[in-house]
């Protein structure tokens, strides 16, 4: 990922957090994860993440999505046979999120997906989250999401997070810190 693109995304994410009136520390801004998931197209596919806490029992993050940015389809599988996989709740704080899960495919979905990514976004049951709305995903269930035209800030509450175990539908995705 180009340094210029990372910095553009970081600056835009900080502006969205300000608009959403989410208080974050200077250190959190500094260490915010800004990732294009290895696809080199961060304006359209990527996510900006502040991990508040991730311990042996629970995890809390703030996710920022730039306008129309897509977090690609993935699931959180069982890890070391210990549990059913990560369970997570999304709570929209600002903007709009179009979340897609398994189930009846929504006709005329709100997401706008560039053609080249369509083969890797296979679930199509739409859930629209506006500020104050929440949705809890069962462990190991496929999901992807896109923000609306204004971008979005979403709180994620979950069991322990082990990002390196996430399984993405698009085999080109690399879940590494930039």
Question: Which C-beta is closer to its own copies: that of 61 or that of 74?
Answer: 61
Question: Which C-beta is closer to its own copies: that of 160 or that of 178?
Answer: 160
Question: Which of 155, 171, 176, 173 minimizes the C-alpha distance to 70?
Answer: 173
Question: Which C-beta is closer to its own copies: that of 6 or that of 22?
Answer: 22
| Buried-state track 123-138, b at ≥16 Cβ within 10 A, e below 16 | bbebbebeeeeebebe
Whether the CB-CB separation of 69 and 147 falls below 8 Å is answered with yes
Question: Which of 70, 38, 34 minimizes the C-alpha distance to 172?
Answer: 38
Please, what is the minimum distance in Å from the beta carbon of residue 81 to its own copies? 16
Please, what is the minimum distance in Å from the beta carbon of residue 82 to its own copies? 12
Please, what is the minimum distance in Å from the beta carbon of residue 79 to its own copies? 13
Question: Which of 46, 45, 50, 42 minimizes the C-alpha distance to 5?
Answer: 42
Contact positions vs its own copies (CB under 8 A): 20-25, 28, 52-53, 55, 57-60, 83, 87, 89, 91-94, 131-134, 136, 155, 157-159
- Give the tokens for residue 80: 């070391």
Question: Which C-beta is closer to its own copies: that of 24 or that of 102?
Answer: 24
CA 120, distance to chain mean position in Å, is 15
Question: Which C-beta is closer to its own copies: that of 3 or that of 55?
Answer: 55
Dist CA 176 CA 15 (whole Å): 24
Please, what is the minimum distance in Å from the beta carbon of residue 2 to its own copies? 30
Please, what is the minimum distance in Å from the beta carbon of residue 8 to its own copies? 24
Please, what is the minimum distance in Å from the beta carbon of residue 130 to its own copies? 8
Question: Which C-beta is closer to its own copies: that of 102 or that of 157?
Answer: 157
CB-based contacts of 177, cutoff 8 Å, min separation 6: 33, 35
């Amino acid at each position: 990922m180009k340094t210029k693109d990372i910095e553009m995304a970081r600056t835009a994410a900080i502006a969205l957090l300000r608009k959403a009136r989410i208080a974050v520390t200077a250190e959190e801004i500094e260490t915010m994860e800004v990732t294009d998931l290895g696809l080199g197209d961060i304006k359209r596919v990527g996510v900006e993440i502040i991990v508040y806490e991730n311990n042996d029992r629970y995890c809390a993050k703030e996710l920022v999505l730039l306008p129309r940015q897509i977090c690609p389809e993935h699931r959180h599988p069982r890890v070391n046979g210990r549990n059913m996989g990560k369970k997570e709740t999304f709570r929209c704080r600002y903007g709009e999120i179009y979340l897609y899960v398994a189930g009846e495919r929504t006709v005329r979905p709100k997401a706008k997906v560039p053609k080249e990514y369509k083969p890797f976004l296979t679930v199509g049951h739409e859930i629209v989250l506006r500020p104050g709305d929440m949705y809890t995903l069962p462990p190991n269930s496929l999901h992807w999401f896109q923000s609306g035209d204004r971008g979005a800030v979403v709180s994620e509450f979950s069991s322990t997070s082990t990002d390196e175990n996430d399984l993405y539908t698009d085999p080109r995705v690399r879940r590494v810190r930039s």
